[in-house]
Amino acid sequence: MTTILFENPIFLQHETPEGHPERPDRLRALNLALEHDRFQPLVRRRAEQANEDFVLLAHPEAHLRSVMDVIPEEGINHFEADTYASPASLQAALTGVGGAIAAVDAVFSGEADNVFVAARPPGHHAEKNKAMGFCFFNNAAIAARHAQKAHGAERVAIVDWDVHHGNGTQDIFFDDPSVLFCSTHQMPLYPGTGAKDETGAGNIVNAPLSPETGSDHFREAFRSRVLPRVADFRPDLIVISAGFDAHHRDPLAQIHLQADDFDWATAKLMEIAERSASNRVVSVLEGGYDLQGLAESAATHIFRLMRG
């Protein structure tokens, strides 16, 4: 397997208030984990800032302008309760979009079998018209739309295992049967969406998990609800919204997963990608707020992408 990691120092310059869980140290912790010898074969590339037009693949221009209007010249500004912007935040967010676009191009050109985009701010809470939940632009949704527009993908599956429901991705694709969206998440929990009866045009699959559950419940939800639907959909590309805040150490939720659970889920999706999508998997970083839990889980996920 050829795996590419897209990264850029600009992601560290997106600043949030002291004590905020979505902080630059998240990527620093991951980078330390990736110094292990087993990651020497990992191809590391610089993500480049995307043209603003790529944002419009998933968001209206009014949303783009609303984000631009909040970016401060100095200090920190905010969109809503917990979603903040600093002077470099727009550049960081557009570079996250650029990484997602480049990731799609890499797997469709055959340059890579799969790609991990180590970007922040995350994206899966960003709805068509709203920045929220630490997120500005929806990188997973933009990646799916780019695959369709630039590479002729007929079917894209997005699988979101972040502990918080990907309300933004669901909002963007709610009535679009060409994109399958599957989510495992804790419920009840922010943002309050993700019930089983939210099915869109038959393309939305939610598998909510109760608090204080763990590996067995997560894997059963994956086996019974997510994997069969993804396999039957026969996607041309699988996009993973890879949040690692369901790890047992994470302070924002109570789903007690281990790093091995993310390894297992990655392997299962790669099996489907091998059958229907010529191995094409694009994974974008979402949540994960305990530094040790994030580093262990994301490193395990990336190593599984490398190993196949």
Domain limits, the chain: 3-307
| pLDDT per residue as tens digits for the range 178-188 | 999 999 999 99
Residue 179, SS3? strand
Active site residue 125: yes
| pLDDT per residue as tens digits for the range 68-90 | 999 999 999 998 889 999 999 99
CATH number of 3-307: 3.40.800.20
Contacts 24+ apart (CB under 8 A), 37-42: 38/303, 39/299, 39/302, 39/303, 39/306, 41/3, 41/306, 42/3, 42/4, 42/5, 42/302, 42/306
- Predicted confidence at residue 308, as pLDDT, reads 86
Cβ atoms of residues 147 and 104 within 8 Å: yes
User: How far lies 304's CA from each of 42, 109, 116, 283, in Å?
Assistant: 11, 21, 11, 12
Percentage of residues in the chain with pLDDT exceeding 70? Answer: 100
- Predicted confidence at residue 81, as pLDDT, reads 83
Residue 54, SS3? helix
Residue 87, SS3? coil
CA-based nearest residue to 277, from 150, 154, 136, 131: 154
> DSSP of 231-243, one letter per residue?
HHH--SEEEEEE-
Cβ atoms of residues 243 and 164 within 8 Å: yes
Q: How far apart are CA 83 and CA 131, in angstroms?
A: 8
Q: How far apart are CA 244 and CA 68, in angstroms?
A: 28
Cβ atoms of residues 262 and 305 within 8 Å: no
Residue 205's pLDDT band (cuts 50, 70, 90):
very high
Give 17's contacts (C-beta < 8 A, 6+ positions apart). 76, 84
Pick the catalytic residue from 14, 125, 247, 301.
125
**Which amino acid is located at 278 in the chain?**
S
Q: How far apart are CA 130 and CA 132, in angstroms?
A: 6
| pLDDT per residue as tens digits for the range 102-128 | 999 999 999 999 999 999 999 999 999
Q: Which pair of structure tokens corresponds to residue 73? A: 């010249």
What is the number of alpha carbons within 13 Å of residue 237 lying toward its C-beta?
A: 34
Residue 163, SS3? coil
Residue 260's pLDDT band (cuts 50, 70, 90):
very high
DSSP state of 74: S
- Predicted confidence at residue 80, as pLDDT, reads 83
| pLDDT per residue as tens digits for the range 22-67 | 999 999 999 999 999 999 999 999 999 999 999 999 999 999 999 9
